Amino acid sequence: MDAIKIARIYLNGLSAQVWQPNQKALERREVFSAYQGVVKETTRLQQQIKSMLNEHCVRLGSGFRLSHPTALTRPAKRKQWTEVQRMLLTQLHTGLVAARLRRRQLRRHMASEILASKELLRLARLCGLSLVTIYGLSAAIGDITRFSHSKKLVAYLGLNPSVCQSGNYEGATALKRHGRGPLRALLIQSAKKLLQVHNPLQKWGLSVAARRGRNKAAVAVARKLCVAIWHVLSGHSIGALEPLTRLQTKLGKLATELGVPAIKALGYQSKTALIE
């Protein structure tokens, strides 16, 4: 559907150039799409297993890890399962373990690309951006020079309000379903977290929340974060940076996702050396 719209705009002469992602951007988009699919599959399998256990009055305690290879040991002792029921549970659990393994492999690949790229490491300095958000942004944006202004990147991600015009009236209304929905959701989730912890955007966001409510404040903070992303990728200096301690924590999580063998393959002797 998007390709048809782009073709019509191009043939009508309204757009003289259509940007084509390079090979690296295409690979990142495929990895990000695969990760989204694995997350949905993991959630679906977890809910199916919990639903089946709940139907047979088997309750699991809080913090129980269904994705662990030996997770079915405890439920098997609480009820006499038939062979068919055991087969169904085993199939669901095997699929869940495999999905979690694929998810871990994709996160490791994302972490390795971020740590190997100075451009993506600059994004890690921004407050509120996690591993998946940074990688998804790099996959969707591609070449930042195709956005001549930060407002164009905001519109591309769907964080700009729609405009209502009637007669002499013109005003902004709520967000519409356009732009990159998954990335917009990730940025709004990051913005909601930024409203709860100390950071350069918290004070401004809370002042907006006092006037307009927390949901609108989260969208406003996400828009500010999107503008900061454009400036960082364009090589400009900004102020919405993580404190040093929180940045070290974020880099530590990236190093943990990468693993010790991969850290040594990059030329660092330990996780601490990589963070430094």
Question: How would DSSP label each residue in the chain?
Answer: -HHHHHHHHHHTTS-S------HHHHHHHHHHHHHHHHHHHHHHHHHHHHHHHHHTT----TT--TTSTTTTHHHHHHS---HHHHHHHHHHHHHHHHHHHHHHHHHHHHHHHHHH-HHHHHHHTBTT--HHHHHHHHHHH--GGG-SSHHHHHHHTT-SPPEEEETTEEEE----S-S-HHHHHHHHHHHHHHTTS-STTHHHHHHHHHHH-HHHHHHHHHHHHHHHHHHHHTT---S-BPPHHHHHHHHHHHHHHH-HHHHHHTT-SSHHHHH-
Q: Please say if the pLDDT value at position 92 is more than 90.
A: yes
Q: Please say if the pLDDT value at position 242 is more than 90.
A: no
Give residue 169's pLDDT: 59
**Six-digit token string for 55:** 């139907």
Residue 98's pLDDT band, with cuts at 50, 70 and 90, is very high
Give residue 170's pLDDT: 61
Residue 100's pLDDT band, with cuts at 50, 70 and 90, is very high
Tell me the C-alpha distance between 274 and 261, whole Å.
12
Which residue is associated with the tokens 């912890």? 197
Residue 136's pLDDT band, with cuts at 50, 70 and 90, is very high
- Please state the domain extents for the chain: 22-116, 131-242
Mean pLDDT in residue range 108-130: 88
Residue 87's pLDDT band, with cuts at 50, 70 and 90, is very high
Give residue 26's pLDDT: 92
Mean pLDDT in residue range 130-135: 92
Phi–psi pair at 172, nearest 5 degrees: -90, 140
Mean pLDDT in residue range 176-183: 80
Mean pLDDT in residue range 44-55: 91
Tell me the C-alpha distance between 124 and 238, whole Å.
13
Give residue 91's pLDDT: 93
Where does residue 120 rank: exposed (0-12), middle (13-18), buried (19+ CB within 10 A)? buried
Give residue 38's pLDDT: 95
Give residue 172's pLDDT: 61
Give residue 210's pLDDT: 92
Average pLDDT value over all residues in the chain? 86
Q: Apex CA 75: angle with CA 70 and CA 77, to 5°?
A: 100
The answer to whether the beta carbons of residues 75 and 65 sit under 8 Å apart is: no
Q: Apex CA 42: angle with CA 262 and CA 104, to 5°?
A: 0
Q: Please say if the pLDDT value at position 74 is more than 90.
A: no
Give residue 171's pLDDT: 59
